[in-house]
Structure 1
Amino acid sequence: SHIFDTFIVGAGISGIAAAIRLDQVGYTNYKIIEKASRVGGTWRENTYPGCGCDVPSALYSYSFAPSAKWSHLFARQPEILSYLEDVSNEFNIASKIEFNNELLNAAWDDSRHVWVLDTTTGQYLSKTVIFATGPITEAQIPRLEGLETFKGEMFHSAKWNHDYDLTGKRIAVIGTGASA
């Protein structure tokens, strides 16, 4: 079975950058998997109203693909996602990603000196792995007494319910951080 030099898990801002840099140095024996159907990571997942970066937009441009097109000093989520999609297409990375494939398990095989990577579409072997999954794509739900019996609408900002109209509703925001 084929052994990859590098296996990249995740096609968000870090996974895209890793793949482009590998290509730029002629290191092409790699595989990228992404659990979703498109690139973007947290910028694909988080779509709550006002979602955007909290640093100047220029810092969300890769040094090897700067953008002068940012419409705001602090770009919003759709614009950042569009930038990541554009860059992955410009550098021909999107065509190298296996979408809708999630990593289930990664284990080092000491006897063969390779990583054994079990995914939803099969098993892969690789000498190295870049885990570019990011820490903020999964919603962290707090453990609150009575949460399971709460009768009202409830959703996490990372899984924003765009179909629910908040107009005139009493709401509670629980948590801290950029999305609160």
Structure 2
Amino acid sequence: MEKEEHVYRTLFLSTLYLSAFTFGGGYVIVSLLQKKFVDQLHWIDQEEMLDLVAIAQSSPGAIAINGSIVIGYKLGGWKGVAAAVAGAVIPPFLIMAVISFFYQAFISNYYIKTLLAGMAAGMSAVIISAVYDMASGIVRGHDTVQIVVMMLAFIANFCFGISVIWCILAAGAVGFLQSRRESV
């Protein structure tokens, strides 16, 4: 019972901390969840984390919440989901409540505009780092099909504007065909 409470408390406090002090959206939080639960606590391995991120990305809704849901469920079942989601939701809720109260003062403040522009640059660096970490895991596995699918999905979406949904469906179809071929 003590161990379960430790897991729930760690889930709540970790997602609360990351959500409160992270700017830039869900992909930033997901990369920091990876650092916390894979690299520091060793509760999830890299392969599982990639699977959980894929599930979080393919589910409707905010990726930060979806990431908290899948990690919470993996580590603590439904109680883990409640702890992780509560931690992820409370800071943005409180921050948005304060911002909405002082909206007029924030919107016209030069320093806040400059601060947000700087945070956008930092957020880009963190997202690039997360993409690199995830992609390097695939490249290290030397699975040529996955590498080609990853590059084609990027090109299709970034260069040709093909919807991410179509890229996910195509990648899923390739994965299905590859697993069928390997099982035969």
Higher relative contact order (CA 8 A, sep 6+): 1
Higher helix share: 2
Fold similarity call, TM over 0.5: no
Q: TM-score, normalised by structure 2?
A: 0.30
